Every structure is written in C-alpha cells, then in structure tokens.
C-alpha cells in the first residue's frame, strides 16, 4: 500500500473513531492531541512524495 493510501486510510479511521466517540458523548484527549500533532507531518510527507 502506498504512503498516500496509508495516510488516507489513517485519516479516515481517525475520523470514524472521533465520530464514534462523539456519538457516545466521550472524548479521548490523549489520542486527539497526538492526532492533531502528527497529522500535519503526515500530510506534508505525503505531499513531498508525490
């Protein structure tokens, strides 16, 4: 699987996870912090590899 496909899959999975938490009225601050810290780096890496 290409880096871009892996990044897209990771992003989609994270959005599904966040949506699931919202529906349950819960939050995962530790994961959310890590996600928003990591996602810009992943996005930049995918753009550079194109």
pLDDT score of 45:
59
pLDDT score of 39:
76
Runs of H (alpha helix) within 1-50: 3-24, 29-49
pLDDT score of 47:
54
Between CA 38 and CA 42 the distance in angstroms is: 6
pLDDT score of 6:
76
Q: Full-prediction pTM beyond 0.85? A: no
| Phi, psi dihedral angles at 23 (to 5 degrees) | -65, -30
pLDDT tens profile 3-48: 667 778 888 999 999 999 999 999 999 999 888 888 777 666 555 5
* Nearest of 8, 21, 15, 6 to residue 35 by alpha carbon: 15
């Amino acid at each position: 699987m290409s880096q871009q496909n892996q990044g897209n899959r990771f992003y989609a999975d994270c959005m599904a996870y966040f949506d699931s938490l919202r529906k349950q009225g819960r939050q995962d601050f530790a994961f959310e912090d890590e996600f928003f810290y990591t996602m810009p780096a992943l996005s930049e890496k995918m753009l550079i590899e194109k």
